Amino acid sequence: MTENNSLEKKLGVWGKDKIVREDGKTYAKDFYCVECYSKKKEVPADSFFPVFDPDIPVHPYCQKHIDEIKVSLILDTIDEHWAG
């Protein structure tokens, strides 16, 4: 095994590191998925979620966790529908 760390892209931890690119924007791909990171796994995020409501704070997530959140949101909506 050779020392490969210098080639590795350094990602930030959401809420701790502030990574802004030259164009002044923040990209999800510059951060770890907050859900994976909470489980001590360092997985690059794919995009911010949710993006449909500016009042809800967004976090960077990997695609797997975005899919999981979307499924749970749909199930919640169905539950509310049948409960109401």
- Enumerate binding residues for Zn ion (CB under 5 A): 33, 35-36, 62, 65
Distances 41 to 13, 34, 37, 62, 82 between C-alpha atoms, Å: 12, 9, 5, 11, 37
* Smaller CB separation from Zn ion, 51 or 83: 51
* Smaller CB separation from Zn ion, 21 or 40: 40
* Smaller CB separation from Zn ion, 67 or 79: 67
Question: What are the helix and strand counts (H, E) for the chain?
Answer: 2, 2
- Nearest-approach distance from CB 20 to Zn ion, in angstroms: 22
- Nearest-approach distance from CB 11 to Zn ion, in angstroms: 12
Which parts of the chain are beta strand (E)? 47-49, 59-61
- Nearest-approach distance from CB 23 to Zn ion, in angstroms: 26
